[in-house]
Structure formats: structure tokens, C-alpha cells
Amino acid sequence: MLEGTLDLLIIILDLFLLGSSSKEKRYFKIDRIVQDWAKKVGINTQYEYKDEKVRSLNVMDDAGNKYQICVETIKWRRIKVCTTNNISGPKRKIWTKKCKLSNLTKVLFEAYGVTEQWISKSGNSRTIN
């Protein structure tokens, strides 16, 4: 109950404080959570791709297959975490989940678990960076 009230208060404050500093603080919090989580599982984080800001984490298996976990901000203080096997066409796999900042670490672990399942089902294992 308290967490829901706090989230509502933060949304209301963001509506009134739509300045860049509020956004920057939120992005800083997200980046900090992503960095801490990435260290725990041994993944490097990429924050820029083709001159655009991104939050992307690359996972590679021992066969050289690449998987990608992405973190995106969406409306109403929500965050979208997705993971994909970076294959186009009918063999493409994608998993997506939306969450609040308070659940981001949990959802990152879920995305990583899905990625590990895909790697295991293909008969491979993860390559540690």
C-alpha cells in the first residue's frame, strides 16, 4: 500500500516538475540499477549505439550466438525490459515485461533467466565477458 502511494506521489510530482532535471534523476536511477545488476551477472552495459542513448546488455553463448537485453523508459514512470535472440524471421525469440523502477532488478533477473533458458535449450552455455 505504501509503495503504491509513493509511486502515485512520484507520478504527480513528475507531472508538475517536467523539467529535465527530474528526467535526468530518473535516468540516473535506472542506469545505477542496471549497472549494479549487470555487475552481479557479469554483463557489460552499452549506453550508446550509433550516437543514440540506449541501455543494452549483450549476452553471448559459447557458439557465438548473441542475445540482447534492453531497458527502455515508457509513459507514466514505467520501464520496459525485453530480451531477444537477435535473429530475424520465424526463429526470432522475444520476451518483454513492463515494470516500475522499484521492480527493475527483479525483472532484469527474469529477462536474464529467459535468456539463459534459450541458451541452454540450444545446447550451449553462456560465455562470460
Tell me, yes or no, whether 60 lies in a domain. Answer: yes
Tell me, yes or no, whether 3 lies in a domain. Answer: no
Tell me, yes or no, whether 11 lies in a domain. Answer: no
Residues 6+ apart with CB under 8 A from 23: none
* Of the candidate ranges 1-5, 30-34, 55-59, 61-65, the one whose mean pLDDT is the lowest: 1-5
Number of domains in the chain: 1
Parallel, antiparallel or unpaired: strands 52-61 and 66-74: antiparallel
Tell me, yes or no, whether 73 lies in a domain. Answer: yes
Taking the C-alpha atoms of residue 97 and residue 110, their distance in angstroms, rounded to an integer, is 9
Tell me, yes or no, whether 103 lies in a domain. Answer: yes
Tell me, yes or no, whether 75 lies in a domain. Answer: yes
pTM value is 0.77
pLDDT in tens, 75-105: 777 899 999 998 888 989 999 999 999 999 9
Residue 63 is part of which domain span?
20-127
